[in-house]
Amino acid sequence: MNVIEKLNKLRLEQNMSVYRLSELTGINQSTLANTFSRGIVPSIANLESMCEALGTTLSRFFSEEEVYELLNKEETKLLQDFRRLPKPTKKTVAKLISDLSEQYPNN
Protein backbone atom coordinates (compact mmCIF):
# COMPACT_ATOMS: atom_id res chain seq x y z
CA MET A 1 0.00 0.00 0.00
CA ASN A 2 1.32 3.42 -0.92
CA VAL A 3 0.40 5.79 1.92
CA ILE A 4 1.07 8.95 -0.09
CA GLU A 5 -1.02 7.83 -3.07
CA LYS A 6 -3.89 6.86 -0.80
CA LEU A 7 -3.78 10.22 1.03
CA ASN A 8 -3.64 12.10 -2.23
CA LYS A 9 -6.56 10.09 -3.62
CA LEU A 10 -8.70 10.92 -0.58
CA ARG A 11 -7.70 14.57 -0.74
CA LEU A 12 -8.49 14.90 -4.43
CA GLU A 13 -11.80 13.04 -4.11
CA GLN A 14 -12.88 15.83 -1.80
CA ASN A 15 -11.43 18.57 -4.01
CA MET A 16 -9.29 19.63 -1.07
CA SER A 17 -6.17 21.67 -1.63
CA VAL A 18 -2.97 21.13 0.32
CA TYR A 19 -3.54 24.59 1.78
CA ARG A 20 -7.01 23.61 3.05
CA LEU A 21 -5.69 20.34 4.47
CA SER A 22 -3.03 22.39 6.25
CA GLU A 23 -5.72 24.64 7.75
CA LEU A 24 -7.78 21.69 8.98
CA THR A 25 -4.88 19.72 10.42
CA GLY A 26 -2.62 22.45 11.74
CA ILE A 27 0.26 20.84 9.84
CA ASN A 28 2.56 23.31 8.11
CA GLN A 29 1.67 23.69 4.43
CA SER A 30 5.27 23.11 3.29
CA THR A 31 5.37 19.88 5.32
CA LEU A 32 2.24 18.68 3.54
CA ALA A 33 3.54 19.80 0.15
CA ASN A 34 6.73 17.79 0.75
CA THR A 35 4.65 14.83 1.81
CA PHE A 36 2.81 14.79 -1.51
CA SER A 37 5.58 15.92 -3.87
CA ARG A 38 8.51 14.00 -2.41
CA GLY A 39 6.63 11.02 -1.04
CA ILE A 40 7.71 11.62 2.55
CA VAL A 41 5.57 9.41 4.78
CA PRO A 42 4.03 11.49 7.58
CA SER A 43 4.36 10.69 11.26
CA ILE A 44 1.53 8.72 12.84
CA ALA A 45 0.29 11.87 14.59
CA ASN A 46 0.23 13.82 11.31
CA LEU A 47 -1.32 10.90 9.45
CA GLU A 48 -4.05 10.65 12.06
CA SER A 49 -4.77 14.39 11.74
CA MET A 50 -4.86 14.10 7.97
CA CYS A 51 -7.21 11.11 8.08
CA GLU A 52 -9.54 12.96 10.43
CA ALA A 53 -9.59 16.02 8.16
CA LEU A 54 -10.28 13.75 5.19
CA GLY A 55 -13.23 12.10 6.91
CA THR A 56 -11.74 8.72 7.72
CA THR A 57 -9.95 6.94 10.53
CA LEU A 58 -6.53 5.32 10.69
CA SER A 59 -8.11 1.89 10.78
CA ARG A 60 -10.20 2.58 7.68
CA PHE A 61 -7.21 4.16 5.99
CA PHE A 62 -5.10 1.05 6.53
CA SER A 63 -7.87 -1.42 5.79
CA GLU A 64 -7.24 -3.54 2.73
CA GLU A 65 -10.65 -2.70 1.36
CA GLU A 66 -10.81 0.24 -1.00
CA VAL A 67 -14.20 1.30 0.34
CA TYR A 68 -14.22 4.52 2.33
CA GLU A 69 -17.11 6.01 4.14
CA LEU A 70 -16.50 9.57 3.05
CA LEU A 71 -18.42 12.49 4.38
CA ASN A 72 -20.62 14.47 2.04
CA LYS A 73 -20.07 18.23 1.75
CA GLU A 74 -22.69 19.06 4.37
CA GLU A 75 -21.18 16.60 6.87
CA THR A 76 -17.66 17.84 6.14
CA LYS A 77 -18.72 21.45 6.75
CA LEU A 78 -20.45 20.46 9.98
CA LEU A 79 -17.34 18.65 11.20
CA GLN A 80 -15.06 21.54 10.24
CA ASP A 81 -17.28 24.01 12.10
CA PHE A 82 -17.46 21.70 15.11
CA ARG A 83 -13.65 21.47 15.29
CA ARG A 84 -13.40 25.26 15.65
CA LEU A 85 -15.57 25.31 18.76
CA PRO A 86 -14.13 25.46 22.28
CA LYS A 87 -14.25 22.18 24.21
CA PRO A 88 -17.18 23.10 26.51
CA THR A 89 -19.26 24.15 23.51
CA LYS A 90 -18.38 20.90 21.71
CA LYS A 91 -19.79 18.96 24.67
CA THR A 92 -23.01 20.99 24.56
CA VAL A 93 -23.41 20.51 20.81
CA ALA A 94 -22.66 16.78 21.06
CA LYS A 95 -25.30 16.41 23.78
CA LEU A 96 -27.83 18.34 21.71
CA ILE A 97 -27.21 16.14 18.67
CA SER A 98 -27.47 13.01 20.79
CA ASP A 99 -30.76 14.18 22.29
CA LEU A 100 -32.16 15.09 18.87
CA SER A 101 -31.07 11.83 17.26
CA GLU A 102 -33.01 9.92 19.93
CA GLN A 103 -36.15 11.72 18.76
CA TYR A 104 -35.56 10.55 15.17
CA PRO A 105 -34.28 6.96 15.50
CA ASN A 106 -35.14 5.85 11.93
CA ASN A 107 -33.52 8.72 10.01
pLDDT at 7: 92
pLDDT at 23: 94
Tens digit of each residue's pLDDT, the chain (107 residues): 589 999 998 898 888 999 999 999 999 999 999 999 998 889 999 999 999 899 888 888 887 655 545 667 788 788 888 888 888 998 999 999 888 888 887 76
Give exposure, 47-86, as e/b (b: 16+ Cβ within 10 Å): bebbbebbbbeeeebeeeeeebeebeeeebeeeeeeeeee
pLDDT at 83: 81
Amino acid at the residue 7: L
Is residue 60 a contact partner of residue 69, using CB atoms and an 8 Å limit? yes
pLDDT at 66: 53
pLDDT at 33: 92
Regarding pTM above 0.75, the answer is: no
Is residue 93 a contact partner of residue 82, using CB atoms and an 8 Å limit? yes
Domain boundaries, the chain: 1-70, 72-107
- 87/107 Cα distance (integer angstroms): 27
Helix H or strand E segment including 36: helix 29-38
Domain 1-70 has CATH 1.10.10.60: no
